[in-house]
Structure 1
Amino acid sequence: MSTSLAVNTESPSSLDADAVVVGYHSGGDAPEPASGAHDVDAAFSGGLAPTLSLLGASGAPEEVHTIASLGAVRAPVVVAVGLGPAPAEGPVDPDVLSRAAGAALRSLASRPGGTGRVVLALPAGSAAEAGAVALGAQLGTYVFDRYRTGDEAREQAEGRAAGSLVLASSAPGADAAVERAAVMAEAVNFTRDLVNTAPADLVPEDLAAAAQEIAQQAGLQIEVLDERALSEGGYGGLTGVGQGSSNPPRLVRLAHSHPEATRTVAFVGKGITFDSGGLSLKPAGSMDWMKSDMAGAASVLAAMRAISTLGLKVNVVGYLAVAENMPSGTAQRPSDVLSIYGGKTVEVLNTDAEGRLVMADALVRAQEDQPDLVVDIATLTGAQLVALGTRVFAVMANDDDVREAVVAAAGAEGEASWPMPLPYELRAGLDSAVADIANVAGERWGGMLSAGVFLQEFIGEGVKWAHLDIAGPSFNQGGPHGHTPKGGTGAGTRTLVRIAEEYAE
């Protein structure tokens, strides 16, 4: 259930609402009301800062305090959210604003009756600020209620997601920025929905069906290869990984075409709808969140819809490499040799390193579209969490400029990423005694990087390519923070759309 958002130039203190959200900065003897809050502060006769001081407010980012308005403004409560120190000059950092808006909306969502109608009086003096506030607020209202039962649970979920948002802003371009933010929020929340869906309800055929529905809605071209077509076409990675499951694999190709486009971008997403590890079985503690192993494919699907909605003047193809990795009498075995699409052979030494096998098939196929850039996105390695933790995804590339551009695109969208190398010396560790390459290295060190080196083997000469490992950031196992909920996060979705926008420009 989506939350509507409109821009309003009237005084936020005079608008009918259930709550008004303002920001404040840290520093000095008392918190300092931020831009956008001054009208509300005036309605309190300058009493916002003293009141916040009495409540122990420090102004730390995402710190939230709720104040009864007692008639000072039309809304019964004022929700004040910390923005950190005030910038010495220029606007507030958009990511800080976005996360603050999300934190405020999450706080309101926990109230009886949900969010209701909320006025956002956060800094919105520029289109960038307005878009950031709109994005964070709409991400902060996200709720996944598919499996909730009972009237009380349903009412609580509906209360969180329903209602309306009003952004107080008179900035030039605010309306357009808010419209883009709505498209981006819808894309991220759709990714979250797919990731949060129970794996029994999202087997490969289901994910392919979801892609067909999105393609029809968004006017995307679509092609779905079933298990027979994959076998006949020589897609050994997908068929090998999927052969252990009663739910056969799929390869989905989506395409957005624009008559004025001069460049083509290809996105490839890992779509392992559940990863048990196969015969190289995962321990139970590492398996209970493996419904999220299709987050890369989900982000590609959501990004494709957003790209179509925005009408970007660039050709974009999206591949979803979809399979379920299960142990059974028909599952692939350690030491099996697979023939990847295009003919290169891989010795499977560990069946839990399955994502790179399905991605290899899709990467080779994607290059047949002759793209100017290939970007793959995958929950590829547990080593990513060891290296970068749960909030920062890795970016590797075969071109320094491409790697820097992808990191910059992620940063512009407020997504935390970090550039990582592809050390040539790691390739020797993937040598196989019987095949062209092995799917894992003989030593444990640098596992995230060696996975990237493996994928690079399937990139043709002269093809520009980047690899995003989102294993940790794609699924939040801890508590919610900012505009990020527990569970599926939608990590990487906005970065993909931003890349497409830049290639359209």
Structure 2
Amino acid sequence: MTTLTLTDSKIATAKVDALVLASTAGEDGAVLSEGTELPKNALTHVNQNLSATGATGKADEVVKLAGVPGVSAALVVVVGTGKADAPVPDAAERYRRAAGAATRALAGKESALFALGGGAEQARAVAEGVLLGGYAFQTFLGEGKAASAKAPLATAQVQLKGRHKEDIAGQASTVAEAVRYARDLVNTPPNVLFPESFAESVSRRADGSKVTLEVWDADRLQQEGCGGILGVGQGSGRPPRLVTMTYKPRGAKAHLAFVGKGITFDSGGLCIKPGTGMVTMKCDMAGAAAVAASILALAELKVPVAVTGYLCLAENMTGDLAQRPGDIVTMRGGRTVEIINTDAEGRLVMADGIALASEQQPDAIVDIATLTGACIIALGNRTMGVMANDDELRERVTGAATVAGEAAWGMPLPEEIRGSMDSPVADLKHTGDRAGGMMVAAKFLEEFVGKDGSGQAIKWSHIDIAGPAFNEKGAWGYTPTGGTGSGVRALIELARSYA
């Protein structure tokens, strides 16, 4: 990962390979951000060249200028932040994205100074953008391709004027490392990452931390009545696992439960997907990756909130014991579910996890999953859908995502949806009407939310990351192609909000 430090030294004389500045999109093209501190001749040179090259200042635009007078760096990089009033999840997000775009453009360079302006919050966002933009998944490159691949930017300085009490660089590094770990898990091929090896990876990562783990294998899942996870996993030669992660600091202000969908590969089961639909299905464990990475980060950040995570891990395959439409499974807690479509497997593993989480009676349960294609139809590829049985919690989750720079949108859970899941032979079916599929899936999950000590439903929220969890298109901002680490920062910020 790129080595990062903060600096308040003069940017013009910095001994770095590249100096990164920000521009905005003005009426007549790119305009250097207000407050850029360069000698007058340097400012004139940069502005003239921005005009001559037709720079617009739009988001993700990167303009490289060499030989700028009065600047020690051999290269000046001007990165666009878009229109000043363009909608973004959070005010600092435009600079997080700009820093990421510039870092990607500086692959192969040794050093850079990012002078994008602003105070501590903006500096933190820039630092995160640099560290996330420098991500590269090169684990499985052959010798020839690995040798020719550009290494990410080696070292970066982020400008921050004045004194600051917080360890901004350290916090940004911890958050970024968590996102990068989630990305690595998602990008790892399914012949290498399967339920058992996923659990082993998290165990290694947690070793020496304040997070403890308990892993249930197939035999234990059978004993514990987790029919949802077992039913999905029974068609694979790679048996399922359920990993419970516990972070319980002294004086915890609250207790949260995070439940993550961990389908390490989704063929669709007997309701098999077309070949093109399987290409990205190694990403169907992105929810579990987000839960694992966020809890490890919360422990490192010493956030005074207890968090219990449930990683619901299975592989959905077509082996001779594969689950069939028409099967009836008994879930954790004893409810029976009629199987309709084996490609709607995620809600089955999640239901067991939510039922287990409910038994601890936490202050809130938040589950996260690449659950429905309907979420992509409704909200596109960059926005997560948020639903809840409590309006205040739904707003809290979307607000936390917004503060973290992740796009999220609250959706309703109409009561009439439940009737479409009535079954004549079981307590309920696991699918319902096709219309409103994102909400139908969430309504199924809500059925497994337990009661608190006063007999009221535990506060619960569902996050659907089917769109933003995996980027099949070109990289943008700090978001690479492939696994994105969607949801990690939102979960971290949510836990912080309880502190």
Q: TM-score, normalised by structure 1?
A: 0.94
CA pair 164-353 structure 1, distance change in 2 beyond 3 A:
same
Of 132, 138, 141, the residue aligned with 2:134 is 141
| 1:98 aligned partner | 96
| 2:437 aligned partner | 447
Q: Judge conservation of contact 1:22–1:36 (CA < 8 Å) in 2.
A: no
> How many Å apart are 1:322 and its aligned residue?
0.2
* One-letter amino acid of the counterpart of residue 239, structure 1: L
> How many Å apart are 1:221 and its aligned residue?
1.1
- In the alignment, the residues of structure 2 paired with residue 357 and residue 424 of structure 1 have an alpha-carbon distance, to the nearest angstrom, of 20
Of 99, 110, 113, the residue aligned with 1:116 is 110
SS at match of 2:300: helix
* One-letter amino acid of the counterpart of residue 273, structure 2: K
Deviations 1:372-399 (Å, cap 9, x if unpaired)? 0100000011111111110001000000
- In the alignment, the residues of structure 2 paired with residue 189 and residue 217 of structure 1 have an alpha-carbon distance, to the nearest angstrom, of 19
| 1:128 aligned partner | 121
Q: Judge conservation of contact 2:310–2:353 (CA < 8 Å) in 1.
A: yes
- In the alignment, the residues of structure 1 paired with residue 162 and residue 34 of structure 2 have an alpha-carbon distance, to the nearest angstrom, of 13
> How many Å apart are 1:174 and its aligned residue?
7.4
| 2:404 aligned partner | 413
Deviations 1:222-263 (Å, cap 9, x if unpaired)? 100001000111110011111000000000000111111131
Of 175-184 and 302-311, deviating more is 175-184
| 2:270 aligned partner | 279
Q: Judge conservation of contact 2:247–2:306 (CA < 8 Å) in 1.
A: yes
* One-letter amino acid of the counterpart of residue 15, structure 2: D
| 2:321 aligned partner | 330
| 1:480 aligned partner | 475
- In the alignment, the residues of structure 2 paired with residue 438 and residue 154 of structure 1 have an alpha-carbon distance, to the nearest angstrom, of 53
- In the alignment, the residues of structure 2 paired with residue 151 and residue 237 of structure 1 have an alpha-carbon distance, to the nearest angstrom, of 44
Q: Judge conservation of contact 1:127–1:171 (CA < 8 Å) in 2.
A: no
Q: Judge conservation of contact 1:23–1:36 (CA < 8 Å) in 2.
A: no
SS at match of 1:98: helix
| 1:38 aligned partner | 37
Q: Judge conservation of contact 1:35–1:122 (CA < 8 Å) in 2.
A: no
Q: Judge conservation of contact 1:126–1:172 (CA < 8 Å) in 2.
A: no
Q: Judge conservation of contact 1:130–1:174 (CA < 8 Å) in 2.
A: no
- What are the within-5 Å matches in structure 2 for residues 209-288 of structure 1? 209-288=200-279
* One-letter amino acid of the counterpart of residue 432, structure 1: S
- In the alignment, the residues of structure 1 paired with residue 105 and residue 193 of structure 2 have an alpha-carbon distance, to the nearest angstrom, of 31
CA pair 45-303 structure 1, distance change in 2 beyond 3 A:
closer
Q: Judge conservation of contact 1:292–1:488 (CA < 8 Å) in 2.
A: yes
- In the alignment, the residues of structure 2 paired with residue 38 and residue 173 of structure 1 have an alpha-carbon distance, to the nearest angstrom, of 20
SS at match of 1:434: coil
Deviations 1:336-371 (Å, cap 9, x if unpaired)? 000001101100011111000000111010112221
- What are the within-5 Å matches in structure 2 for residues 68-83 of structure 1? 68-70=66-68, 72-83=70-81
- In the alignment, the residues of structure 2 paired with residue 283 and residue 21 of structure 1 have an alpha-carbon distance, to the nearest angstrom, of 45
Deviations 1:146-174 (Å, cap 9, x if unpaired)? 111124534524x22x5100112224327
> How many Å apart are 1:214 and its aligned residue?
1.8
Establish whether residue 460 from structure 1 lines up as the match of residue 453 from structure 2.
no
More helix by share: 1
- In the alignment, the residues of structure 1 paired with residue 85 and residue 165 of structure 2 have an alpha-carbon distance, to the nearest angstrom, of 21
SS at match of 1:386: helix
| 1:422 aligned partner | 413
- In the alignment, the residues of structure 2 paired with residue 172 and residue 42 of structure 1 have an alpha-carbon distance, to the nearest angstrom, of 27
> How many Å apart are 1:30 and its aligned residue?
5.3
Q: Judge conservation of contact 2:132–2:180 (CA < 8 Å) in 1.
A: yes
- In the alignment, the residues of structure 2 paired with residue 171 and residue 239 of structure 1 have an alpha-carbon distance, to the nearest angstrom, of 56
Deviations 1:441-496 (Å, cap 9, x if unpaired)? 1x321111100000000012420000000011100011111110000001111000
Q: Judge conservation of contact 1:244–1:331 (CA < 8 Å) in 2.
A: yes
Q: Which consecutive unaligned segments of at least 5 residues does structure 2 have?
A: 452-456
Q: Judge conservation of contact 2:45–2:69 (CA < 8 Å) in 1.
A: no
- Work out the number of aligned pairs and report it: 491
Q: Percent identity?
A: 45
* One-letter amino acid of the counterpart of residue 446, structure 1: G
SS at match of 1:369: coil
Deviations 1:77-115 (Å, cap 9, x if unpaired)? 111011223469xxx920000001111111112xxxx13
* One-letter amino acid of the counterpart of residue 351, structure 2: A
CA pair 47-208 structure 1, distance change in 2 beyond 3 A:
same
- In the alignment, the residues of structure 1 paired with residue 135 and residue 478 of structure 2 have an alpha-carbon distance, to the nearest angstrom, of 8
- In the alignment, the residues of structure 1 paired with residue 43 and residue 281 of structure 2 have an alpha-carbon distance, to the nearest angstrom, of 53
- In the alignment, the residues of structure 2 paired with residue 273 and residue 450 of structure 1 have an alpha-carbon distance, to the nearest angstrom, of 23
- In the alignment, the residues of structure 1 paired with residue 275 and residue 29 of structure 2 have an alpha-carbon distance, to the nearest angstrom, of 49
| 1:19 aligned partner | 18
Q: Judge conservation of contact 1:346–1:435 (CA < 8 Å) in 2.
A: yes
- In the alignment, the residues of structure 1 paired with residue 253 and residue 37 of structure 2 have an alpha-carbon distance, to the nearest angstrom, of 47
| 2:454 aligned partner | none
